[in-house]
Amino acid sequence: MTRKKFDIPKMYQSPIIRKVKEATKIIDPMKKDLEPTVLDFGPVQFLIPRFFGFCYGVENAIDIAYRTVAENPDKDIYLLSEMIHNPTVNEDLQKRGVKFLFDTDGTEHIPISSLSEEDIVIVPAFGTTLEIQSQLKEVGIDPYRFNTTCPFVEKVWKRGKQLGKKDYSLVVHGKHRHEETRATFSHSADHSAVVVVLNPEEAKILADIMTGERPGSDFEKYFGHKSTGGFDPIKDMERFGVINQTTMLATETQEVMEILREAAIKRFGEANVLDHFADTSDTLCYATNENQSATLALAETDADLAIVVGGYNSSNTMHLVEILEHHFPTYHVRDKGELSPDLINHFDQWDKEMKRTRDWLAMKESPHKIALTSGASCPDILVDEVLLQILEYFEDTNKVGDVISPFEEKLEPE
């Protein structure tokens, strides 16, 4: 897909990170080099991954949403739910009068039945369910008129539909309450038997049920609440493909595919596996792949700690944290407001709560090396602000202009 140019509001653009990203694109147009960039401020260095931040789908959604708000000052504008999982962007849209119909887990705030055909409803980047699409149509609202569903999510749905036409069932690797997985489930259930698995551990349980190593009754226990009615793990897993919530760890999706492919081989024999297991690896999202690969390269550096900027309900941000925390202390923060010189507030996805860590910058040696990145729904400006905030905690740092000028030299004059 050719990279479209999107109109991103100036307030989300950043004077530092944007220049680094633009320059790296020019230096490495074929995207071959995953080596992180070092921004050397003297007593502190920031290690910036090759890929991070806004992806195609998020830029597309922001472009459409802000254009819709600007062009329709007299209309009531609604978003089905958070447009992307970033509080800064969502709060700004709410300040501009946009109202949310549902919250992230599907709880209704404003009934669709109370809307009129004059109203505007923006479908978020995750897409929405067929049920909500028909409720909108019932009140006279076209769900495709202001649709920001990411084309890479739609690609997953299309592939699922092709498989459904050939009588394949679908295994969705995702979090079953996440908006995107609910949307993908709904679109898939229109043509296939569907079951959602969260991780390789659950894939193994499903595989064991398929091959008879676990009783069939375990299906109801583990998957009854996240599969289509009457799903039969023996019959419906005779022909299947795996699709994913696009922000899951790509390596985990591949693991889920491999576990279930092995089970298909065990059941039907190696020679017949292609008749029973569809190769869907081409549906994995490019941005998730790039961002996670670049994060793995960042994890290989000798950073002292990592900061990941992003919403606390952002699935892709949590996966970046998950990669980095195996290598160094890693702090997930929504913005610079969580930082002070001797204390950092950060989200712990495993305990699902905010934590406070003291002396987080107390490192033995200088320069302090800080890996800094952000999720796909995080505006670069928030990363700039975190970087500038940390610089304030150090004396005698190199000037930002001096550190950035080698990158500016690579760019075309604006």
d(CA 294, CA 52): 8
Specify the residue, 227 or 246, whose C-beta has the smaller distance to ligand SF4: 246
Gap between the Cα atoms of 140 and 14, Å rounded: 40
CB of 19 to ligand SF4, least distance (A): 22
Which positions lie near ligand SF4, rule CB under 6 A?
A: 55-58, 125, 150, 152-153, 246-247, 285, 287-288, 316, 376
Whether the Cβ atoms of residue 130 and residue 186 lie closer than 8 Å to each other: yes
CB atoms closer than 10 angstroms to residue 96: 13
Distance of closest approach, residue 59 Cβ to ligand SF4, in angstroms: 9
CB closer to ligand SF4 out of 163 and 376: 376
- Taking the C-alpha atoms of residue 399 and residue 387, their distance in angstroms, rounded to an integer, is 13
CB nearer to ligand SF4: give 85 or 336.
85
From first CA to last CA, the distance across the chain in angstroms is: 26
Query: Of 133 and 317, which has the nearer Cβ to ligand SF4?
Result: 317
Residues in the chain: 414
Kindly state the tokens that stand for 206: 């499903």
Helix, strand, or coil (residue 319): helix
- Is 220 designated active site? no
**What's the CA gap between 367 and 373, in Å, rounded?**
19
CB of 338 to ligand SF4, least distance (A): 24
Q: Which of 59, 180, 290, 325 is catalytic?
A: 180
Whose CA is closest to 332, among 13, 86, 59?
86
CB of 93 to ligand SF4, least distance (A): 17
Nearest residue to ligand SF4 on Cβ basis:
57
Residues marked as catalytic: 180
